[in-house]
Structure 1
Amino acid sequence: MPEPDDATPTVIAGASVLMADGRVQPGSVVIEGGTIAEVTTRSVRRRGANVIEAQGRLVVPGLVDLHLHGAGGASLESVVEPAADPERGSAVPRVLRHLARAGVTATFASLASDAVETMARRSRALARWREHPLADGAELLGAHLEGPFLSPAQAGAHDPALLVAPGADDVARLVETRPAMITLAPELPGALAATRSFADAGTVVAIGHSEAGPEEVAAAVEAGASHLTHLWSGQSSTTRTGPWRVPGLLEASLSSAGLTAEVIADGKHLPRELLEIARRCLGGNLVVVSDATEGAGMPDGFRYGLASVQCEVRDGVGMVVGQPAFGGSTTTLDGMLAHLCLELGWPVPEVVEMLSARPASIAGVGERKGRLAAGFDADLLVLDDQLRPWRTWVRGTPALLP
């Protein structure tokens, strides 16, 4: 099917539409240019429009991922300047197009811990990609620096040799690159000052890969932290001092009020019981992230790196080579949507909220992404009866066609 030109409206007709109020109703969605012109329960047939007959398929907002390292055999750590050759000179277009085909229409680009100057260079390059969006790929909302200011005791798939305390010079160098988010351990020396610096610059500060307890979490929140990185992964838990039980970061996270938090819902990282605990404890503050790597969409045995740490795809998940530790996921958000709804039985509107409107709000783009409403970006995902992506539009451009 030929793609319509920008002046031709597109009507998705005969659909089941997830309305902005959370109800699913029969209806139509009209796209004009890069925005949604109308969402209605009427059957719309515009003369001269490009009409897509959805045949009852479900239309939802495009998915938004706050934590993703790569996909489709390409790593966002391979970023170069857009001008170097946007089609071949960088892994970024490959990742963003892979995501769009999976229904992910906006994403952060997560960088694993590395030398500060290396992370600064990559963060600057990713900021420029944000200013030069692809027409047919997920919109890059900025860099997420997952490190290097992390606790060695909770390093996970990060190389402990690359982790450092947040010194003033290093913080200033990274703040200057305008990252969208940073994950750090608030108990490290200098971490509270770093939190203030990043938060004052408009960066979302997330607590993660940390041994922090409730008091340190409270201090970080006072300094500007607002988010929690992947619950149960890289988080300390309850310890005992004599008969006294001392909460760790996990308990501080689950009992928090006001902090948003993320889970990796690939069916591998967390069993259903832990996902349900997170859902009950965090309620409307819970979001789903993929933590996907370049192993997403690749077969078992495929090897990839997270900075200096070597990983491989094994049994449908990323594993650190030679260690009993996860090395990110190999599932994009569409697979997590299907897992939560079809296997765990969570309601589709609730799960879509966790994968669209809530992360869009955290990313600071909730006024234009994450809902099907007139004036919002035309980021749409059409799902079949097994909740698999059938069509995707990114800012009005079709990215997935049969």
Structure 2
Amino acid sequence: MQVRSKIVNARIITPHRIIPEGSLLIEDGRIAEVREGHMPGKNAIEIDAGGNYVAPGFIDIHVHGGGGHDFMDGNEDAFLKIAETHARFGTTSMVPTTLTSEKEELLHTLSLYERAKAKNVSGAEFLGMHLEGPYFAMSQRGAQDPRYIREPDPAEYEEVIASSPHIVRWSAAPELKGAIPFGRYLRSKGILAAIAHTDAIYEEVLEAVENGYSLATHFYSCMSGVTRRNAFRYAGVIESAYLIDEMDVELIADGIHLPAPLLKLVYKIKGPNRIALITDAMRAAGMPPGESILGSLHDGTRVIVEDGVAKLPDRSAFAGSVATADRLVRNMVQLGEIPLASAVRMITATPAGIMGVAARKGSLVRGKDADIVIFDENINVLRTMVRGKTVYEKENNGNK
């Protein structure tokens, strides 16, 4: 029996415009029709959007945790609770992300992902795993544990990739010995190669792009800008991403990792089709301020959550974000002063394209998955739907 529902009285954000008063029909988890005005009949369960915005579900391609859990906690429940936590804030798809660790812990996390994915029916959908590290520049490690940072080892990464078909991206520093062959190997396996925690200069970034790297992980954070070596200036990764049009960039638009002027600058130069908004959220996302742990419970780094961000105990550096997807969109509109439709694109269509899932996600188009978020003028999430199923609804939001 065909399951139908329709959303009416909605301001629908499409790839081309915002329909001021529209309707959307869902059939068996997919979008069947988007139209102006009221949609009569159809024998469908009616959801009244109450004049609020209806947008594609948010896609977070870099997230470590939330709701008091981390993907490296070593259990399936953590995966499921994180997916449920971020669904409350409009995320309908996510790419679970690891931290620098021993190989054995990495392999265990990958095995947990496969089991958790099969049980994940109440939260944001998993799109595959993102391995952040351990192949980083020690000088740009940020909050990554220095005990585990090392250079790319073909025996190691080939074993890890062979162990799981669910690795969809891997972040590394391209200037390291062996990083260029590593990038080529990733691409040969259909895995997105990203640049992160790096002191590379322009020439090294250009070589990396020529050999498979295409994305700058958490742009500006833990990466080189202009440097001087023996009186000569060199462009860093930041300038390289601006110069190389083909490079995509991730933004932690929490208003803290990057202040308003930098949000505006990145948008002005790269534009909404090359920017993916990410939470980079650790376990404290969706939780009250206070002490927390970055990474695994048994071997992670103690951090302090205050001022809307996680910090190292000595407050010398940020130790991860506690942002949620709604906050990213709100900040791009309010701090970045950009149109709502562009802010939504950067957390829907653009990340869908980067991750190769645009054929089924990222826009409200007939035939695509009915991943939908309903939010008000202030980007407060009222309802989240994954493949047509409501996984979160705000109490007393007035929707039927």
Length-normalised TM-score, structure 1: 0.93
Quote the Cα distance in structure 2 between the aligned partners of 1:127 and 1:282. Answer: 35
Quote the Cα distance in structure 2 between the aligned partners of 1:168 and 1:314. Answer: 40
Alignment partner of 1:126 is 2:113: yes
Alignment of 1:2-401 (within 5 A): 7-46=2-41, 48-80=43-75, 89-130=76-117, 132=118, 134-176=120-162, 177-178=164-165, 179-283=167-271, 284-307=273-296, 308-401=300-393
Letter matched to residue 71 of structure 1: G
Letter matched to residue 100 of structure 1: A
> RMSD of the TM alignment (CA)?
1.5
**Contact kept in structure 2, 1:8 and 1:48, CA below 8 Å:** no
- What is the deviation of 1:48? 3.4
Quote the Cα distance in structure 2 between the aligned partners of 1:263 and 1:385. Answer: 22
Letter matched to residue 135 of structure 1: V
Quote the Cα distance in structure 2 between the aligned partners of 1:261 and 1:47. Answer: 42
- What is the deviation of 1:91? 0.6
Unaligned runs of at least 5 residues, structure 1: 1-5, 81-88
SS at match of 1:124: helix
SS at match of 1:118: helix
Quote the Cα distance in structure 2 between the aligned partners of 1:128 and 1:40. Answer: 39
**Contact kept in structure 2, 1:18 and 1:24, CA below 8 Å:** yes
**Contact kept in structure 2, 1:255 and 1:281, CA below 8 Å:** no
SS at match of 1:280: helix
Shifted more, 177-186 versus 337-346: the winner is 337-346
Shifted more, 121-130 versus 363-372: the winner is 121-130
SS at match of 2:12: strand
Q: In structure 2, do the counterparts of structure 1 residues 79 and 316 end up closer, same or farther at CA, with 3 Å as the change threshold?
A: same
- What is the deviation of 1:243? 4.4
Q: Percent identity?
A: 33
Q: Which residue of 1 aligns with 2:398?
A: none
SS at match of 2:59: strand
**Contact kept in structure 2, 1:298 and 1:313, CA below 8 Å:** no
Letter matched to residue 73 of structure 1: G
SS at match of 2:46: strand
- What is the deviation of 1:241? 3.4
- What is the deviation of 1:386? 1.4
Letter matched to residue 194 of structure 2: A
- What is the deviation of 1:161? 1.6
- What is the deviation of 1:141? 0.7
Shifted more, 119-128 versus 190-199: the winner is 119-128
Quote the Cα distance in structure 1 between the aligned partners of 2:209 and 2:334. Answer: 36
SS at match of 2:262: helix
Letter matched to residue 285 of structure 1: R
Q: Which residue of 2 aligns with 1:86?
A: none
Unaligned runs of at least 5 residues, structure 2: 396-400
**Contact kept in structure 1, 2:352 and 2:362, CA below 8 Å:** yes
Quote the Cα distance in structure 1 between the aligned partners of 2:247 and 2:383. Answer: 34
Letter matched to residue 49 of structure 2: A
Deviation string 1:240-294 (CA, Å, 9 cap, x unpaired) is: 2354321111211222210111110001111111111111221221111110111
SS at match of 2:62: coil
**Contact kept in structure 1, 2:294 and 2:320, CA below 8 Å:** no
- What is the deviation of 1:314? 1.2
Quote the Cα distance in structure 1 between the aligned partners of 2:249 and 2:56. Answer: 21
Letter matched to residue 278 of structure 2: V
- What is the deviation of 1:300? 1.3
Letter matched to residue 287 of structure 1: A
- What is the deviation of 1:69? 0.2
SS at match of 1:250: helix
